[in-house]
């Protein structure tokens, strides 16, 4: 029995008291009498015992089941008063560590049982302590750990680190299996791995898990087989190597990029030791020298440097060993013997062993050097051309400051190129022009626009040069970088223009003083000059310059004159009259002359000079004389001359339009008897009344003429049918049958007329004389038929109509 053990006795049977006495004699334990079961339960709430000896009467009593709750740290032995082996499992189920028969109990058996129970209790306590330590280690380890059933693959336990790492709650995790941590396409690999035998301490394997939020986690798994709750299980520890692997991949990618950069770079990269022995060369550098990489590695750089430059190479080795960095130009020799120029930038580095070596990066600038040389040559040629140019040339910065001017500018401005730099070129500008030119130049520069100006350079008080100056922005890749400009000496042109201006002023003074209208239109029919008389006539004294002829003249007038304008623009001098009846009823007639203006080589018409004179008064007077010459003084009708002019025109229109033309030839029957019986005064009055009645019967557009004596003619145009001509003749005959009342003479006379009707249509060769002869023939037939009637002739087939017998 263990010394110092507290033993509590529960029960009142005599055998219990004997046990107490036996234990006290042993003096190895302290024995506490706790009374019956109910008193013991109360006492155990305030004290603790290592072992309880309990009088066991009936396992069904609830008080026995309370012992575990009241004294959880105490082991107890059931002392059954009934020697019933069958009740042993019941006592054991209630928590008893052993069960002894009270009536057959002796001290040796009791001491042995107590020793066994206490030893078992100590072992259990040690195991529990070990379990608690393992549980603390399991829970507090910073790496995710779990235990899963190797059959169902469901999690049996997980630590807090796994909860934090995977984002599941504790109860959620224990509802999962290993499948839930892996992507579906990796389940087959998981099953294969689990089917393999696992050593006692498995080596780590790398797998890909997925957290609760879908985030991938790359973990390194260490596993160990164990039994958990009596079932085969496996303990796994997962180390998150996601960041580590990403870092490794980044390093590997960086190494690949460096390798690719070294291998694929167009730059020339190589390394050499401190004696100039090549350690590595990239393909671009090898190709630039005409070698393969393997042919250069291990060779001294002296083999690729021209002999004349090898002394400089030794100096370079000393310099870079001293400064650990160097840059400059290498002159290297291509395999074919051609000398190349490399621009290098080298640094001293150290390998893992601390040994120094040189890493170099170079560019082959041979072509660039040649280009720069050609560029300098071209620049020199350009400057020579610029200096030889008769025009002044200059360049300016974006801010407008001059940075170059050629020799021609120096000659014009009287300033040297260096004296004109910046804004000092304005010193050459005439004082009267300087403020204007300065403001215009600053405005053009500010708004990035073109600059144009006409100004004067003044060498001294006696010498002035007129120049035309212009500049435009220089655009390089879409950006304005400055300005380039030119200056032209226009002194001679300025003098010529001044002379021309004075000549134009004199010409305008002369033309404005002339009563004639004078103008000039260019080949585009736009006015370039018009004197005062022309402007007053067509624009109300406003300027016509720049306006089109159609706009100035008006649509109707322009259309009348357009054929003549185009004729003049084809090089023909044209003179014509243009008549116009205006809206106010006034009549105007102009005589116009269009004179072509040829170029100096007489190859092209540049424009047309227009000269116009108002001949309205002459035309009116001319018409009055013509009308007087063509008018019958007795009747007011057209006379023979006027009739013939109008008949000629009517016949021409008939030919052009293929229209019907009707001519009536008529006279007064027995007119001689009227004259002989009543005198010529009565005869004249009869003629006047006869003319008036013709006017009332015929249309206003019909032409009526008196050829002489009692002979009259009528011209009728626009009839659609020949029958209408017969109707008109019949109306005339009927109208003349009414009595002629002569109030002054107090007479009433009966008068009749005979009419000959001539028709003409589609007769291209018919003349006026032939048409009159046809009408006269028809009149003769009417006379022959008894007078007071009419007859009609149409070409060779005359249509004959007799006088009607009644009105």
User: SS3 letters for 320-381?
Assistant: HHHHCEEEEEEEEECCCCCEEEEEEEEEEEECCCCCEEEEEEEEECHHHHHHHHHHHHHHHH
User: Given 3.50.50.60, 3.30.450.20, 3.30.160.100, 3.40.50.1820, which CATH number is that of 512-620?
Assistant: 3.30.450.20
CB 234 within 8 A of CB 242: no
- Between β-strands 790-794 and 145-149, what pairing exists: parallel, antiparallel or unpaired? unpaired
Count of other CB atoms within 10 angstroms of residue 591: 16
Topology of domain 371-489 in CATH is Beta-Lactamase (3.30.450)
- Interval 684-702 mean pLDDT: 92
Three-state SS for 764-794 is CCCCHHHHHHHHHHHHHHHHHCCCCCEEEEE
Q: Distance (Å, rounded) from C-alpha 186 to C-alpha 179? A: 9
CB 723 within 8 A of CB 732: no
**pLDDT by residue (tens digit) across 615-631?**
878 777 666 666 656 78
Helix (H) or strand (E) holding 458: strand 451-460
Is a pLDDT exceeding 90 seen at residue 43? no
**What tokens does 201 get?**
């301490």
Beta bridge partners of 268: 362
**pLDDT by residue (tens digit) across 214-260?**
889 888 888 888 888 778 888 888 888 888 887 777 777 776 776 76
Q: In what order do the strands lie in the sheet with 402-405?
A: 402-405, 392-397, 479-489, 463-476, 451-460
The DSSP-derived string for 609-653 is: EEEEEE-HHHHHHHHHHHHHHTB-TTTSSB-HHHHHHHHHHHHHH
Whose tokens are 């007077």? That residue is 621
SS3 692: helix
**pLDDT by residue (tens digit) across 125-173?**
776 766 666 676 677 788 898 888 888 889 888 988 888 889 899 888 8
Domain 141-246: CATH superfamily is PAS domain (3.30.450.20)
**pLDDT category of residue 25 using cuts at 50, 70 and 90:** low
Is a pLDDT exceeding 50 seen at residue 482? yes
Provide, rounded to the nearest whole percent, the portion of the chain with pLDDT above 90.
30
| CATH code for the structural domain at 5-132 | 3.40.50.2300
SS3 802: coil
Question: Which pairs from 43-50 meet CB under 8 Å and 24+ separation?
Answer: 43/8, 44/8, 44/70, 44/71, 44/74, 45/70, 48/6, 48/73, 48/74, 49/6, 49/7, 49/8, 49/74, 50/2, 50/5, 50/6, 50/7, 50/74, 50/75, 50/118, 50/121
Whole-number average pLDDT of the chain: 84
Is a pLDDT exceeding 50 seen at residue 804? no
For position 24, what pLDDT does the model report?
A: 58
**pLDDT by residue (tens digit) across 306-328?**
988 888 889 999 999 999 999 99
**pLDDT category of residue 633 using cuts at 50, 70 and 90:** confident
The DSSP-derived string for 374-439 is: HHHHHHHHHHHHHHH-SSEEEEEETTS-EEEE-HHHHHHHS--TGGGTBTGGGGGB-HHHHHHHHH
Q: Give the ranges where 451-598 is alpha helix by DSSP (H).
A: 491-513, 532-539, 549-553, 555-569
Q: Distance (Å, rounded) from C-alpha 106 to C-alpha 802? A: 191
For position 535, what pLDDT does the model report?
A: 84
For position 27, what pLDDT does the model report?
A: 47
- Interval 449-468 mean pLDDT: 86
Q: Distance (Å, rounded) from C-alpha 676 to C-alpha 708? A: 18
Is a pLDDT exceeding 50 seen at residue 516? yes
Q: Give the ranges where 196-241 is alpha helix by DSSP (H).
A: none
Name which of 332, 324, 322, 354 is nearest 281 in CA terms.
332
- Interval 376-399 mean pLDDT: 77
For position 751, what pLDDT does the model report?
A: 93
For position 151, what pLDDT does the model report?
A: 86
Backbone angles phi, psi at 615, to 5 degrees: -115, 25
Greater confidence, 486 or 621? 486
Q: Distance (Å, rounded) from C-alpha 31 to C-alpha 51? A: 10
CB 611 within 8 A of CB 592: yes
Q: Active-site positions?
A: 710
Topology of domain 265-364 in CATH is Beta-Lactamase (3.30.450)
For position 70, what pLDDT does the model report?
A: 87
Helix (H) or strand (E) holding 668: strand 660-668
**Residue ranges, CATH 3.40.50.2300, the chain:** 5-132
Q: Distance (Å, rounded) from C-alpha 611 to C-alpha 628? A: 32
Is a pLDDT exceeding 60 seen at residue 805? no
**What tokens does 562 get?**
């357009």
**Residue ranges, CATH 3.30.70.270, the chain:** 630-794
Residues 6+ apart with CB under 8 A from 135: none
Give the count of alpha carbons within 13 A of 804, CB side only.
11
**Residue ranges, CATH 3.30.450.20, the chain:** 141-246, 265-364, 371-489, 512-620
- How many separate helices (H) and strands (E) can be counted in the chain? 26, 32
| CATH code for the structural domain at 630-794 | 3.30.70.270
Count of other CB atoms within 10 angstroms of residue 484: 15
CB 691 within 8 A of CB 637: yes
Greater confidence, 227 or 274? 274
Angle between helices 107-140 and 14-26 (to 10 degrees): 80
Name which of 723, 728, 703 is nearest 715 in CA terms.
703
Using alpha carbons only, how large is the chain's radius of gyration in Å?
70
Angle at 178 between CA 173 and CA 180, to 5 degrees: 70
Backbone angles phi, psi at 787, to 5 degrees: 65, -175
Dihedral angle of Cα 613, 618, 620, 626, to the nearest 10 degrees: -130
Whose tokens are 């009159």? That residue is 772
- Between β-strands 574-581 and 356-364, what pairing exists: parallel, antiparallel or unpaired? unpaired
- Interval 771-795 mean pLDDT: 93
Q: 186-190, 258-262, 551-555, 662-666 — which one is most confidently predicted on average?
A: 662-666
Q: Distance (Å, rounded) from C-alpha 198 to C-alpha 527? A: 111
SS3 284: helix
């Amino acid at each position: 029995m263990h010394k110092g053990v507290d033993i509590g006795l529960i029960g009142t049977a005599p055998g219990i008291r004997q046990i107490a006495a036996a234990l006290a004699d042993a003096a190895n334990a302290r024995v506490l009498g706790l009374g019956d079961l109910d008193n013991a339960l109360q006492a155990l709430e305030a004290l603790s015992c290592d072992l309880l000896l309990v009088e066991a009467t009936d396992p069904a009593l609830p008080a026995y089941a309370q012992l575990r709750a009241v004294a959880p740290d105490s082991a107890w032995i059931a002392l059954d008063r009934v020697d019933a082996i069958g009740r042993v499992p019941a006592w054991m189920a209630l928590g008893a560590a052993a069960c002894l028969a009270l009536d057959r109990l002796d001290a040796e058996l009791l001491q042995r049982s107590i020793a066994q129970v206490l030893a078992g209790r100590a072992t259990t306590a040690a195991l529990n302590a070990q379990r608690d330590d393992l549980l603390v280690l399991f829970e507090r380890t910073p790496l995710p750990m779990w235990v899963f059933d190797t059959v169902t693959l469901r999690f049996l336990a997980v630590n807090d680190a796994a909860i934090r790492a995977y984002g599941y709650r504790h109860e959620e995790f224990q509802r999962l299996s290993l499948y839930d941590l892996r992507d579906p396409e990796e389940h087959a690999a998981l099953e294969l791995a689990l089917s393999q035998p696992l050593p006692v301490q498995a080596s780590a394997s790398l797998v890909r898990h997925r957290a609760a939020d879908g985030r991938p986690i790359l973990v390194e798994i260490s596993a160990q087989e164990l039994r958990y709750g009596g079932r085969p299980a496996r303990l796994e520890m997962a180390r998150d190597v996601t960041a580590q692997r990403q870092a490794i991949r980044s390093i590997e990618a960086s190494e690949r990029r460096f390798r690719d950069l070294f291998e694929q770079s167009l730059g020339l990269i190589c390394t050499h030791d401190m004696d100039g022995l090549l350690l590595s060369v990239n393909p671009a550098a090898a190709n630039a020298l005409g070698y393969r990489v393997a042919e250069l590695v291990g060779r001294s750089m002296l083999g690729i440097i021209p002999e004349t430059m090898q002394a400089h190479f030794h100096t370079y080795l000393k310099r870079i060993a001293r400064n650990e960095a160097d840059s400059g130009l290498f002159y290297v020799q291509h395999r074919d013997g051609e000398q190349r120029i490399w621009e290098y930038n080298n640094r001293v580095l150290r390998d893992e062993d601390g040994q120094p070596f040189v890493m170099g990066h170079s560019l082959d600038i041979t072509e660039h050097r040649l280009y720069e040389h050609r560029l300098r040559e071209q620049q020199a040629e350009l400057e020579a051309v610029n200096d030889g140019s008769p025009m002044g040339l200059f360049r300016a910065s974006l801010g407008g400051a001059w940075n170059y001017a050629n020799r021609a500018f120096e000659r014009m401005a009287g300033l040297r190129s260096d004296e004109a730099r910046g804004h000092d070129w304005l010193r050459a500008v005439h004082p009267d022009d300087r403020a204007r030119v300065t403001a215009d130049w600053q405005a053009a520069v500010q708004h990035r626009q073109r600059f144009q100006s006409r100004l004067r350079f003044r060498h001294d008080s006696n010498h002035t040069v007129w120049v035309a100056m212009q500049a435009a922005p220089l655009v390089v890749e879409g950006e304005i970088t400055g300005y380039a400009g030119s200056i032209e000496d226009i002194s001679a042109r300025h003098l010529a223009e001044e002379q021309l201006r004075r000549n134009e002023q004199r010409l305008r003074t002369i033309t404005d003083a002339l009563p004639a209208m004078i103008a000039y239109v260019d080949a585009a029919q736009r006015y370039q000059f018009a004197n005062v008389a022309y402007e007053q006539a067509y624009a109300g004294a406003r300027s016509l310059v720049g306006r089109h002829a159609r706009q100035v003249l008006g649509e109707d007038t322009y259309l009348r004159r357009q054929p003549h304008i185009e004729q003049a623009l084809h090089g023909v001098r044209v003179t014509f009259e243009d008549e116009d009846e205006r809206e106010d009823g006034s009549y105007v007639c102009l005589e116009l002359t269009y004179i072509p203006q040829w170029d100096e080589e007489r190859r092209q018409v540049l424009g047309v000079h227009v000269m116009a004179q108002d001949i309205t008064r002459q035309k009116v007077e001319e018409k009055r004389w013509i009308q007087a010459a063509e008018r019958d003084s007795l009747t007011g009708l057209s006379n023979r001359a006027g009739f013939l002019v109008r008949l000629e025109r009517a016949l021409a229109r008939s030919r052009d339009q293929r229209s019907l033309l009707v001519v009536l030839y008529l006279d007064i029957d027995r007119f001689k008897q009227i004259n002989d019986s009543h005198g010529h005064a009565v005869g004249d009055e009869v003629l006047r009344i006869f003319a008036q009645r013709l006017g009332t019967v015929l249309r206003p557009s019909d032409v009526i003429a008196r050829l002489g004596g009692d002979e009259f003619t009528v011209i009728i145009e626009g009839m659609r049918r020949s029958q209408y001509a017969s109707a008109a003749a019949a109306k005339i005959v009927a109208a003349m049958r009414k009595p002629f009342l002569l109030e002054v003479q107090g007479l009433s006379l009966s008068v009749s007329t005979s009419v000959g009707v001539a028709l003409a249509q589609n007769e291209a060769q018919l003349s006026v004389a032939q048409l009159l002869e046809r009408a006269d023939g028809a009149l003769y037939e009417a006379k022959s038929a008894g007078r007071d009637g009419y007859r009609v002739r149409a070409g060779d087939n005359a249509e004959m109509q007799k006088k009607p017998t009644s009105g």
